[in-house]
Amino acid sequence: MNTRRLTPVLLAGTLLILTSTALRAETPPAERILPDDTMAMLTVPEWQELCAIQGRSPQWQLWKDPLLKAFREHFEAKWKKEVADPIESELDIRFQDYQGLVQGQLTMALILNQGDEDSEPEPGFVFLIDSKDHREQLSTNLNALRRQWLDKGKSIRTESVQGVEFSVIEISTNDLPNTLRKFMPGRSDVQELADEEGERAETRERRELFIGQSGSLLVMVDSLATAQKIMTRLTGGSLPALAEVEQFSRDQGRLFRNAHSYGWMNAKVLLDLVQQKLAQQEKNRQENAPDPLAQVKPDKVLAATGLSGLHSAAFAYTETPLGSEVTLFLGVPESERVGLFKILTGEPKDTLPPPFVPADVMQYQRWRLDGQKAYATLEQMLREISPQMLNGWNFMVETASTAAQEKDPTFNLREQLMGNLGDDLITYKKAPRGSTAKDLETPPTLFLLGAKNGEQFVSALKTVLAMFLRGNPPATREFLGTTIHTFDLPNPAMTADATARKINVAVSRGYVAFTADEPILEEFLRSADSPVPPLRQAPGLAASTEAVTGPGTSLLSFEDQKAGMRLQVALFQQWATNSTPEVEDPMTPIPESMGLGLPRKGLKEWFNFSLLPPFEKIQHYFYHTVYAGGGSVDGLTLKIFSPTPPQLRGGNGGSEPESEGAAEAKPKAAGD
C-alpha cells in the first residue's frame, strides 16, 4: 500500500470545502456508517466526553500543575512560534474559529474498493467528524475555506452522491504548508517539468479529495467509490454495514460497548490481500528469473507462524473513577491457533509475584511459558516453512553435541539444555544504585528461567558457550552454599576502551538466574533468610491484579510508575544540563523513515527539562500499572490497567497532595 495516498488526509483541518444539505437525524455510530468491507477503523464515539475524561486524568492534572508552569509555557511558546502561528499565516486561517467543531464522533477507516477483473482492490480512506449542533458554524467556516481555495486559483468540481454534493479538489504534497512539510516524510517539493506545450506538469500523480456534509456530519474520502459507499449507508441504502459483520459483532460485544475509544481490524481480509500480493510477486519473480534455491514461500510462512488463522485485531480504551483500562484482543480461535499464537497463549498458571520478589522493584513480569511445548512448536514452524531450515538447525545441534562428547561421552544437548526448560519466566528490575548516566540507564535486572534440573542446564550451557565463545572458562565462586558462574561475553563494540560484559549465572529455588549485576543476584540468593517485604503485599496491587487477570491468564506484569518516572526525570535533567556526549538523549526521536522530521538537536529547544520541579513535589501523580495476558476459546487478550493514584481520588490534585496513608485508609479507595 502506498502511504503517500494518505498524505491528503493531513489537509483535513485546513482544506475542507463542502456544501450544506438538509438537516438529518442524529448521526449513527461508526459501525452503522461504515460498510461491511471495512478493513480497519478507529473511532471516538463522543469526542467531548473523552476530552472531559482526559481533563480529569492524572497526566492532564500534572500538565496543568503550577509547578510545571515554566516547563509548560516554554513548550507552548515554542509550539505557537514554530507551528501554530506559521500555519495560520500560510493558510490565512485562525484556529480558534475551528475550536469546538468536533462534538460527537471522530472516525477514521480504511475500506476495500474492489476493482474490476483486471485491477487490484484499492483501499479507500474515510474521515468522519460529527459537529452535532455546530453544523452551521462548520458550514460557514468551511465555505470560507472554499472561497480562499478558489481565490488562489485552485480548481474545484462537484459530484452528487445520494443527493449530497461533494466538493472535489486535487492536491499533492506541494499543497501542504511549509511548516507541516518539515515534519512529514517525502517533504521535498514535487519536481515539475514542462510538457510538450510548455506548461508545467507534476511528475507525480496528484490525488483527489472528496468533501461533503450530511447533516452535522463531515464526510471526507479519497475516491468517488468510497463516497458512494458511505452515503449509501447514511441514506438508508441496502449496503450491509460493518456492524453486521459476525467477527466485528462478537468483538463489539466483548470490548466496545462502554469504551471511550476503540479500533478494529479485519485481519482476515488484510492478510488475504497481503498473501495475494506476495503470491503475485513470487509468480512474477519465478517467471522473470527463477530461483532454484528459493525455499521459503510467503504462504508457508503465514500458515506456519499462525498468522493465517488471525481473524481480527481490536483495542478498546475505557476510563473509570478507579483508573484507565486498555484492552487488546487478537481474534484467533483456539482450534486454529498454531505457531506464534500457540506459544503466546502460554499456560494458565499462577502469575502472582513469588514471595522472594521484593516490594521495591520498579518492574516485574512473569510469563508461564512451557519451554518444552514452545521449543516443539518452533521446530514445527521450521519444518512447515522449510524442511531445509529444520535440517540446518538439527545439524548445528548434533554437531555441538558431538563436539562436546569428546570430553563428556554422556553429553546430549537436547536432553540437558532444551529438555530441562520449565514453564516459568520471571524478570524484575530495581532502581539504580548510583546517579551517573550509566547507572540510570542500566538499572539492576534479574532474569529467572524455570528449569527441571537447573544444575544440568547450567552444565550444558557452559559446554555450549565454551565452544562458541572460545575464551576462558567461567569464573566460579561460592555464595551461601550456591555456586555463581561468571561468563565473559564478547564485546560488540570491538574497542579497547569498551567495558567488558559479564553475565552471572546461579541455580536456586528451581530457577536458573541470569544477571549482569552481582548484588541483585546475591539478594535473590539470600532472600529466604531476609525479612524483605514481598511485592505481592504491595498496597493496591491485589485489586489492580484482579482487574486484569482471569481464568486463562498466563502473563502478568507490574510497573511502579513512581519509581520509573523518578528515573526518567533524573535522566532528562542530566541530559538537559550536561552537554558532553557521554550523556545521551533519553528520548529517541522517531527517524524520518517513520514519518517525523523532528531533529535530535531540537529536542532541548522544545523541552527544557531543567525547568522540571524536583520529582518529590509531583510524585503523587504516579502510582503503578499492571497488565495481564492470556488465551480463551475465542482469542488472545492483553489488559492494561493504570489505577488512579490514591492522592488524586476524590478530585484532590494539584501540588499539595494529601498523605498517601490517608488516601489508602479511605473506605471507597476500591483500587486498593
Per-residue pLDDT reduced to its tens digit, 384-417: 998 888 898 899 889 888 888 888 888 899 999 9
| Helix, coil or strand: residue 489 | strand
φ/ψ of residue 263, rounded to 5: -140, 155
The answer to whether residues 437 and 568 touch, using CB atoms and an 8 Å cutoff, is no
pLDDT at 286 over 80: no
Query: CA–CA distance from 434 to each of 200, 308, 438, 443, 444 (Å)?
Result: 63, 48, 9, 9, 11
pLDDT bracket for residue 450 (50, 70, 90): very high
- Supply the pLDDT for residue 282: 67
Helix (H) or strand (E) holding 276: helix 267-288
CA dihedral of residues 461, 462, 464, 467 (deg, nearest 10): 170
Sign of CA pseudo-dihedral 215, 217, 220, 226: negative
Longest dimension (CA), the chain: 90
The 10s digit of each residue's pLDDT in 67-108 is 999 999 999 999 888 888 888 787 777 777 777 889 999 999
Q: Which of 127, 160, 151 is nearest to 11 (CA)?
A: 127
* Weakest-pLDDT range from 130-134, 149-153, 211-215: 149-153
The partner residues of 628 in beta bridges, in order of sequence, read 556, 639
- Supply the pLDDT for residue 576: 75
Q: Which of 152, 193, 191 is nearest to 172 (CA)?
A: 191
The model's pTM is 0.84
pLDDT bracket for residue 183 (50, 70, 90): low
> Which residue has better confidence, 266 or 119?
266
The answer to whether residues 135 and 73 touch, using CB atoms and an 8 Å cutoff, is no
Burial tier of 589 (Cβ tally within 10 Å: 0-12, 13-18, 19+): middle
E strand map for 215-295: 217-221, 261-265
Hey, what's the cell of 633?
476459546
Q: What is the C-alpha to C-alpha distance for residues 130 and 33, in angstroms, rounded to an integer?
A: 12
pLDDT at 434 over 50: yes
pLDDT at 590 over 90: no
Query: CA–CA distance from 29 to each of 42, 108, 244, 256, 330 (Å)?
Result: 12, 12, 13, 12, 23
The answer to whether residues 137 and 213 touch, using CB atoms and an 8 Å cutoff, is no
The 10s digit of each residue's pLDDT in 543-587 is 999 999 999 999 999 999 999 999 888 888 887 776 544 444 444
φ/ψ of residue 13, rounded to 5: -85, -5
Q: What rounded mean pLDDT belongs to the chain?
A: 82
pLDDT bracket for residue 510 (50, 70, 90): very high
- Supply the pLDDT for residue 90: 76
